[in-house]
Copies of this chain bind each other. A is one copy, B any other.
Amino acid sequence: MSDTHALEALIQSLRRLPGVGIKSAQRMAFHLLQHDREGAQLMAQALQQAVGQVRHCQQCHTFTEKDLCSTCTDERRDATKLCVVETPADQSALERTAAFKGLYFVLMGRLSPLDGIGPKDIGLQKLFDRATDGVVQEVILATNFTAEGEATAHVIAQALKAKGLQVTRLARGVPAGSELEYVDLGTIAHALVDRR
């Protein structure tokens, strides 16, 4: 319709969000315009501020609004341990455990040859430079336990071991609170092999 340019443009822009198709985009646009115009304005401001202010930490590559993120500048962290994760969400999951006091490197992705994502796209060279700065002694690979995450961990492990670094991987095993009967066989097999 010729008199709904702005509405159409809004629907098309919402479709760029991951997991949002035409029906969801329409529902979101109608909701904002009908019930939450204040939210729409907040979102417009938040988008502009985030695009203008959020960049990558020069050391660990995570999102930050300064040159270095608050974790990298925290002097109480153990700089000899470097934990490699795929995304900032994975990093905050690890942080919530309070079980790790070292530093991080955030890949902002994973190797995925099928999607055309190779070593250059996830900044592996930057990781290699970071890990071989002379301070880091152990690199802990905490990429996801998916096919792509495992492949990424494998490639990184190969490269860093060749440089003489100690490389470890998060332990695989039976999740806390689970009953063996309902755990998949691959997980049980791994837990058997890695028994302690």
Q: Cβ of A40 and Cβ of B47 under 8 Å apart?
A: yes
Q: Cβ of B65 and Cβ of A4 under 8 Å apart?
A: yes
Minimum C-beta distance from A17 to chain B (A): 5
Measured between beta carbons, the chain B residues less than 8 angstroms from A69 are: 1, 3-4
Q: Give bound CA distance, A26 to B63, whole Å.
A: 12
Query: Looking at the complex, which one of B10, B44, B63 makes contact with A4 (CB distance below 8 Å)?
Result: B63
**A64 (CB) vs chain B CBs: closest residue:** B3
- Number of chain copies forming the complex: 2
Minimum C-beta distance from A101 to chain B (A): 16
Q: Cβ of B54 and Cβ of A33 under 8 Å apart?
A: yes
Query: Looking at the complex, which one of B3, B27, B33, B64 makes contact with A50 (CB distance below 8 Å)?
Result: B33
User: How many residues in A have their beta carbons less than 8 Å from beta carbons of B?
Assistant: 57
Q: Cβ of A9 and Cβ of B64 under 8 Å apart?
A: no
Query: Looking at the complex, which one of B9, B24, B34, B42 makes contact with A46 (CB distance below 8 Å)?
Result: B9
Q: Give bound CA distance, A66 to B5, whole Å.
A: 11
Measured between beta carbons, the chain B residues less than 8 angstroms from A23 are: 89
Known: A6-B65, A13-B47, A44-B47. 5 other contacts (CB 8 A): A13-B39, A26-B89, A32-B50, A37-B51, A44-B44
Contact residues of A with B, CB < 8 Å? Answer: 1-7, 9-10, 12-14, 16-19, 23-24, 26-34, 36-37, 39-54, 63-66, 69-71, 87-89, 108-109
